Amino acid sequence: MAKRSLKDLRILITGASEGIGRALALQCAAKGARVMAAARKLEKLQTLAQESAQYPYPITITQADVSTPEGRAALLEAVQSRFGGLDILVNNAGIGATGHFADSKPETFRQIIETNVFGTIETTRLFLPMLEKGKTPAVVNVSSILGRRAIPGRSLYCTSKFAIEGWTQAIRAEFVRFGIDVILINPGLTQTSFSQNMLERNAKMQLDHMRGMTSDQVAKAIIKAMETGKKVVSLTFRGKALLFAARFLPFLVDRISKKKVKELYAEEIAARQAKANS
**Measured between alpha carbons, how far apart are the two ends of the chain, in Å?**
64
pLDDT of residue 265: 84
Q: Comparing C-alpha atoms, which of 136, 235, 110 is closest to residue 184?
A: 235
Q: How confident is the model at residue 136 (pLDDT cuts 50, 70, 90)?
A: very high
Give the model confidence (pLDDT) of 186-207 as tens digits.
999 888 766 666 777 766 666 6
What does the H/E/C string look like for 149-160? CCCCCEHHHHHH
How many angstroms separate the Cα of 228 from the Cα of each of 96, 119, 143, 181, 216? 30, 27, 19, 11, 18
pLDDT of residue 209: 52
Could you tell me if 213 and 240 are in contact, meaning their C-beta atoms sit under 8 angstroms apart? no
Whether pLDDT at 148 is above 90: yes
Query: What does DSSP assign to residue 201?
Result: B
Choice between 2 and 175, residue whose per-residue pLDDT is larger: 175
Average pLDDT over residues 155-168: 97
Q: Over the chain, what is the mean pLDDT?
A: 93
Amino acid at 90: V
pLDDT of residue 266: 84
3-class secondary-structure state, position 255: helix
Cβ atoms within 10 Å, residue 237: 9
pLDDT of residue 204: 66
3-class secondary-structure state, position 200: coil
- C-alpha 127/C-alpha 108 separation (Å) is 27
Q: 265: Cβ–Cβ under 8 A, 6 or more apart, which residues?
A: 204
How many angstroms separate the Cα of 195 from the Cα of each of 54, 61, 223? 31, 24, 24
pLDDT of residue 81: 97
Q: Is 157 a catalytic residue?
A: yes
Residue ranges and CATH numbers for the domains of the chain are 10-248 (3.40.50.720)
Amino acid at 153: G
Give the model confidence (pLDDT) of 225-247 as tens digits.
999 989 999 999 999 999 999 99
Give the model confidence (pLDDT) of 88-119 as tens digits.
999 999 999 888 999 999 999 999 999 999 99
Whether pLDDT at 256 is above 80: yes
Reported pTM: 0.92
